[in-house]
Amino acid sequence: GAVVSQHPSRVICKSGTSVKIECRSLDFQATTMFWYRQFPKKSLMLMATSNEGSKATYEQGVEKDKFLINHASLTLSTLTVTSAHPEDSSFYICSARMGFYGYTFGSGTRLTVV
């Protein structure tokens, strides 16, 4: 089946540094990918929709200069958390649309900013 690979699974970084998270579709082409943020005991919050070859569409309240999204190929989307702060610590999950109804999810990245 369609697989989305997300790396790294865990990352710890110092406050003020930037962190890049990769999301790859392994056996299919994903023209659209999605980035979610999940707080403890909370649902998934859609951050942005990533479209191959064009600018990402950010949800209201999400800082696009802090959360940089690049979707340069049909199999790779990246999320860069710039100048990370402890409040950016969270679980980030990417997802890719498969066909008309389906979505497959990456295994998530636990970001801890110290």
Partner 1 sequence: AQSVTQLGSHVSVSEGALVLLRCNYSSSVPPYLFWYVQYPNQGLQLLLKYTTGATLVKGINGFEAEFKKSETSFHLTKPSAHMSDAAEYFCAVSEGAGGSYIPTFGRGTSLIVHP
Residues at the site binding partner 1, with contacts judged by CB under 8 A: 4, 6, 9-10, 34, 41-44, 46, 49, 91, 93, 95, 97, 100-108, 110
Structure tokens at 18: 């930037």
**Cβ closer to partner 1: 96 or 113?**
96
What is the closest distance, in whole angstroms, from the C-beta atom of residue 2 to partner 1 in the complex?
10
Q: What are the two backbone dihedrals, phi and then psi, of residue 87, each rounded to the nearest 5 degrees? A: -70, -10
Whether 31 and 41 have beta carbons less than 8 Å apart is answered as no
Structure tokens at 98: 């498969």
What is the closest distance, in whole angstroms, from the C-beta atom of residue 105 to partner 1 in the complex?
4
What is the closest distance, in whole angstroms, from the C-beta atom of residue 74 to partner 1 in the complex?
19
**Cβ closer to partner 1: 65 or 100?**
100
Long-range Cβ contact pairs of 55-58 (< 8 A, separation 24 or more):
none
What is the closest distance, in whole angstroms, from the C-beta atom of residue 94 to partner 1 in the complex?
8
**Cβ closer to partner 1: 38 or 82?**
38
**Cβ closer to partner 1: 14 or 41?**
41
Distance between CA atoms of residues 41 and 13, nearest Å? 23
Distance between CA atoms of residues 34 and 14, nearest Å? 26
